[in-house]
Structure 1
């Protein structure tokens, strides 16, 4: 069983020819409301991949929050540990997606930033009864830290996706088994450049010296780098036609957790996660782009259908 603690947002998605520069007005093509939030995305992805998943998070008492809970429930996520915060709105994110598939995102946290230590402690048993805890940084760090601490006290596997990039409470790292930054987040956390594979490795080992046991650094279309005390290994990404990179990292993290929960090795888990991320970027949106287990099971057949332009 996997427990995800993190954010729930409604993504307000605008498609454009290009992301506007400061002061520039760009005419959009269309607009959609799509369930998102890094925490909810990862919970939804793990459930779609066949895992039993609990979601711990906070929403407002509003129609957007109701929609987000309903969507997760329909996809098989246990939503009993999602709390409603009186007087706060549910989180939203504006997502501008340009034709290349790149995106620019602004998050308005709302109730997400009201998740407290006492909320985490209320659902302690859920964490204890899980095999893996997954979390991110779109909720207060004291809540993240408390969840990680509970999980490690019970010898559970802990995964921290340090997104968005933020200065970390140094005590958090000692409760993390696997850290999964992208290259930008790794540069922020380590203080080292990440413009080459070698520099990524140097930056990663800086964090190993701070107590992290394993790092999986995601590098977008370049793949990812696995770094631990006695090994650094590169995993290439699959070449596909990218439509939207939203939630690719979330799908990757969820798939990593799902694979590890089955007792597979970290390297097997990375290979599986790379497949999930590849499938995710070929579709638009956050949770609606995340693949089902049966789709990933036929990945080898699917990848041959991809026509690159």
Structure 2
């Protein structure tokens, strides 16, 4: 793989860009119910954009391949990406679809439910991805998710695999995962719900989770990092299985934690870490993110991670 250990990691993210409208509520409503919420927060989201922002804040050189509308949300999103140092050259505008939007409800127990309108995300094409071929083939890691058409992810992984670039997949929504995509995936980062849907395995016990991860490997995935919330992360590769404990924190808002983990995992792997070490570091990034409200606003910088590590060592 094209792993650069002496310079900034190079990450290309192909995926979704959303504007997030986060509603804080005492509890999640039931059908037909109306009640007062605590607050409304507007921020940037989308799994692709989230992962790009995390990687950029951890010091990577990041390019983002995406689609947005021709609207005010698009302007705000691109301005925010550029403020984080992300290369937005390959973000294209759709004339007939709005920028993707998510309505996120978060209750006092930090549980959430989310409604997403894909908008321009649904128009990301293989041609859009091919326009970024030069930067994809120069990357250390290419990350995809499935909030944009699977054809875009397939093209990104084909270009990356041909250039010996590490491919990483967040398999969400899980129902869009194909065998062809898995066969081109070096690192798959599912949660328990997603891996159960993809493999048909139960995930009640640790042994169940290992079986499910092994089934992903049998379908062509080289490495699996199964995120399990407070239970930690189960990693499986050619060297065997490890269970990485979760960093214990008081969660305020878990929105985007999986993307924080994935973006951090990509940077750590690009820096030459083993899968287990990379998962441990990524778990810290995700843990810090859940102690704050919002999605991209909750993602820590490299300086914050360094301070966290120093505090842990001295504490």
TM-score bucket (shorter structure)? over 0.9
Q: How does 1:1-309 map to 2 (within 5 A)?
A: 1-302=10-311
Alpha-carbon distance, 1:229 to partner: 4.0
Change (3 A) 1:31 1:304: farther
SS at match of 1:233: strand
> 2:150·2:176 contact (CA, 8 Å) conserved in 1?
no
Q: Distance in 2 between the 1:208 and 1:240 partners?
A: 31
1:282/1:131 Cα in 2 relative to 1: closer, same or farther (>3 Å)?
A: same
Q: Return the offset for 1:304.
A: 9.4
- Distance in structure 1 (CA, Å) of the matches to 2:290 and 2:251: 5
Gaps of 5+ in 2: 1-9
Residues 305 and 166 of structure 1, relative CA distance in 2, 3 Å threshold: farther
Shift in Å, 1:26: 3.2
1:30-82 CA-to-partner distances (Å, cap 9, x unmatched) read 11111111100000110000110000000001110110000010011111110
Structure 2 distance, partners of 1:67, 1:221, is 34
Matches of 1:25 and 1:303 in 2, distance apart? Answer: 44
CA deviation profile, 1:145-167 (whole Å, cap 9, x unmatched): 11011100100001001123223
Deviations 1:120-155 (A, max 9, x none): 111111101111101111100011111011100100
The two structures have a TM-score, normalised by structure 2, of 0.94
* 8 A Cα contact 1:6 1:56, kept in partner: yes
Cα distance in structure 1, aligned partners of 2:240 and 2:191:
19
Q: For residues 199-231 of structure 1, give each alpha carbon's deviation from its aligned partner in whole angstroms, at most 9, with x where no partner exists.
A: 111111111111111100000111110012441
Tell me how far 1:303 sits from its aligned partner. Answer: 5.8
Give 1:21 shift.
Answer: 2.3
| Secondary structure class of the residue paired with 2:12 | strand
8 Å CA contact retained: 1:256, 1:269: yes
Q: SS of the counterpart of 2:174?
A: coil
| Cα contact 1:260–1:269 (8 A) shared by 2 | yes
Over aligned residue pairs, what C-alpha RMSD do you find?
1.5
The ranges of structure 1 where at least 4 consecutive aligned residues each deviate by more than 3 angstroms after the TM superposition are: 300-306
Distance 1:26 1:163 in 2: 31
Distance in 2 (CA, whole Å) between partners of 1:95 and 1:226 is 29
> TM-score under structure 1 normalisation?
0.96
Supply the distance in 2 between the matched residues of 1:282 and 1:305 (Cα, whole angstroms).
21
Check conservation: 2:146, 2:176, Cα contact below 8 A. no
Provide the rounded CA distance (Å) in 2 between the counterparts of 1:167 and 1:115: 15
Cα distance in 2 for residues equivalent to 1:203 and 1:289:
31
